[in-house]
Amino acid sequence: MRRPPALTGSYKRFGLLVAITTLALLLGACAGWWPPDGRDQAGTAADRREIAAYIGKYVLITLTYFDEDGDVVAQPQVHGIIVSADRARGFAVALQGVWEGETFWLPPDVRGFSPARRGEYRLNSTSEIIYDPDLISTWEITRAAPWL
């Protein structure tokens, strides 16, 4: 009996992206936060300027998935350029490297970003090396404990 050929190229990357997205959905989601609370839906001009300042920045993203016992399940890393920001949907990142051509959405929470130190970053999940990103974005996602 002949085995089907292994997935290669963009099909393999798409399969991995589907797996990461499915894992994120299974483990839970993050609630959004935009400072400060209690403002109108559209936000102030200062909020819009702050959000707009993220557009065009190169970001290294690390997602750490935990099970209900607190054990690390997966820790994928991706990188790309923030191309849009929306108070409802979050930050759209045009991915680069292995995931080039894909768009990754981060939650609408500016607390998930911090300035990156200049230098070389090796991504454990893909072995890619990136240089001098503008921002680091880290997220911890924990699967909820079963109700029963």
Q: Is residue 1 part of a domain?
A: no
pLDDT band at 26 (very low <50, low <70, confident <90, very high): very low
Rounded distance between C-alpha atoms, residue 103 and residue 77, angstroms: 14
Q: Is residue 147 part of a domain?
A: no
Q: Which domain holds residue 81?
A: 9-142
Q: Which two tokens stand for residue 36?
A: 């400060």
Handedness of CA 61, 81, 107, 34 (dihedral sign): positive
User: In this structure, are residues 122 and 46 in contact, taking their beta carbons and an 8 Å threshold?
Assistant: no
Alpha helix (H) ranges present in the chain? 9-27, 45-52
Q: Is residue 108 part of a domain?
A: yes
Rounded distance between C-alpha atoms, residue 142 and residue 64, angstroms: 8
pLDDT tens digit string along 61-109? 999 999 988 899 999 999 999 999 987 788 999 999 999 999 999 998 8
Collapsing DSSP states into helix, strand and coil, what is residue 92? strand
| Mean pLDDT along residues 42-60 | 81
Q: Is residue 3 part of a domain?
A: no
Rounded distance between C-alpha atoms, residue 24 and residue 87, angstroms: 20
Q: Is the pLDDT of residue 38 over 60?
A: no
The total domain count for the chain is 1
Q: Is residue 148 part of a domain?
A: no
Q: Is residue 135 part of a domain?
A: yes
pLDDT tens digit string along 131-145? 999 999 999 999 887
The confidence score (pLDDT) of residue 89 equals 86
| Mean pLDDT along residues 25-33 | 44
User: In this structure, are residues 104 and 78 in contact, taking their beta carbons and an 8 Å threshold?
Assistant: yes
Rounded distance between C-alpha atoms, residue 134 and residue 58, angstroms: 5
